[in-house]
Every structure is written in structure tokens, then in C-alpha cells.
Amino acid sequence: MRPNPSCRRSAATPWLFGSVLSASLLGLTPVAAVPLHAGDIFPLVEAGVIRIANGATVSATSATTHGVLAALAGQRFFSGDFGDIRGGALATDNPGFDWRSGVFLGDSGFPNGSLLGLQAVGQLGFWNGSTWVAGPAGSTLSVDDVLGRRVSWTGSGVSTDPHGFIGQASGGSIHSHINFSVNSGSPVGAWLVNFRLFSQVAPTNLFNPPPPGPGNRSPGIADSAPVTLVFNRGLSAAGFTAAVDSLQLPPPPAPPTPQQVPLPAGALLLGFALLAFSARRQLEPTRACEIC
């Protein structure tokens, strides 16, 4: 299912973000819950920590096989395609971030009016057709937050301020799509980035909220574990599937159990005879003493 265009938060229209903030802080009731978008990231707050309710998991085998993935074992990952219709060859606003109050018989746990944000971590990864490596020099993957601020990853790490806003919680729900893109000089392949999700307190200045960062976190809500996004840049369906499958390598097979080789019947009889002879020799001194 393609996202509804009315759900998008365009980076070019910060006034829209302000109007959404206004509606939330005035306590307006959100629209009725509708089905979640397949493929979106479903964040919620559980036991004071932001968690992700869906997604596949990077396997430990993949993390040890590919150097760039060394720290990613157990992380949730999601995929997107820079070749989608709306984004064109170099951009996409999928996956989005989605939680609808009522769909899961409860709200997301994010305080009403609070801002959901991301903090970029790690380096840009690139699938070269056989393994994951650091993004080639000159390649950049970026995301534009709802206020138009750009966060970027390169092969050597995060090259900008790592914080950006995704959207705002309202009535226990949140739904927002922000634009991810790769620069035009990037080669064909799969691209990988990582980020943490955080919650920031509801702003008092609707049109100029405080910059995202550790000093404005929502009290009592810890950041999420890192989340991984994998994007297709021009690969065939089979080629991108191979890149995604490389994140879920199964554990190596267990070593075979040594087979017990049965002894021939003659060897068993010889063994019994030796045991009997040994037992008799141990009894002989006792009998000699009894005769004495």
C-alpha cells in the first residue's frame, strides 16, 4: 500500500508542521484510527524506553560476516527503494513512522504534543554485490526532517548535526513520512544507515521549536536502540533481495556428532576374558591368607 499523500510532512512547508503542533497542543481529537501502512516503522514507549514493534532483525551471523555490520546484531531493520514513483531515482519517503491509537488497543505512549526525532549514528554502508563495505568516497545519504534540516551519513560517519524531527504525537498516535535521498554521484547498489529514535518535550513556540538534542528529551523516556534502514539504488529485485537476505544469514550448522564404531564380537569376548582374569588375580592373595 502506498502512503496517503495527505499524511506526508513536506520538508518545504514548515508552516504545516506548525499547524500540526497547534492542533495537538490545543487538545484537538485526532482523526479516527485507520490501518497502519505496511512497511512503516511502528514506534512505541514501553517501560520508559522507545521500542520498535515490528521489523526484521539483523542476525549475529551477518554481523560477524560483514565488517560494516559488526555492531548491528539484534537491531531491527527496514527497507525502502530510491526508485519509487514519487521520490524518483534518488529519493523516497518510505518507510514512514506510524502508530495509530486504537489499532493496538492502546496509544503509543508518547506524551501528547511531544516530538518524535531521530539521531543518526554509525557510518554509511554499501552493498557491492557480495558484501557490505563502507560507503564509497563522495557518496552521501541524507534525510530531511519536517523543518527542512538535513542529516547526512557518509562512509566515515555522520557528517552533519545528527538530530532531526520526524513528527508529533497527538492523542497517542503518530504518523509521518520524511524524505531520504542519496546523492547523484552514488553508484548502483544497496545503501544502509542507522539511527536512534528519541522523544522531545512539546515545544512552547510552535513555529520555532527548540533544536533537537539531548537537553530537550521527554522526561522518563529513553532513546531507542539503533534502527537500520536499507535502501535500493537501481538494483534488480533479485539483487536487492540478496542484499536484504545478507542481513539475516542463518547460524552455521552444528558440527556432526562423532559416530560410535561398534566393536567386533571377538574383541568384546576378549575384553570380558581380560576383566575376569583381572578380578581373579585380585582375589588370589585373600585366599592365600585364608589357607594360612
pLDDT of residue 71: 84
> How buried is residue 163: exposed, middle or buried, by Cβ count under 10 Å (0-12/13-18/19+)?
buried
Structural domain contains residue 254: no
Q: Say if 289 falls within a structural domain.
A: no
pLDDT by 10s per residue, the chain, length 292: 333 433 433 333 333 344 333 333 333 333 334 445 668 999 999 999 999 999 999 999 998 888 788 888 899 999 999 988 888 889 999 999 999 877 555 789 999 999 999 999 999 999 999 999 999 999 999 999 999 999 999 999 999 999 999 999 998 899 999 999 999 989 999 999 999 999 999 998 867 888 887 889 999 999 999 999 999 999 999 999 999 999 998 887 877 777 765 656 555 555 555 565 565 555 555 444 444 4
The domain total for the chain is 1
pLDDT at 76: 95
**40-to-25, 45, 176 alpha-carbon distances in Å:** 25, 17, 10
Residue 126 CB burial class (10 angstroms; 0-12, 13-18, ≥19): buried
Per-residue confidence (pLDDT) for residue 272, from 0 to 100: 55
pLDDT computed for residue 113 by the predictor:
93
Query: What is the domain range of residue 62?
Result: 5-248
DSSP state, residue 291: H
In this structure, what C-alpha cell is assigned to residue 158? 555522520
pLDDT of residue 88: 85
CB 192 within 8 A of CB 173: no
Would residue 183 count as lying in a domain?
yes
The span from the CA of 279 to the CA of 154, in Å, is 78
Is residue 266 in a domain?
Answer: no
Instruction: Report yes or no on 226 lying in a domain.
Output: yes
Q: Is residue 267 a part of any domain in this protein? A: no
CB half-sphere exposure, 77, CA atoms < 13 A: 26
Element (H, E) at 195: strand 189-200
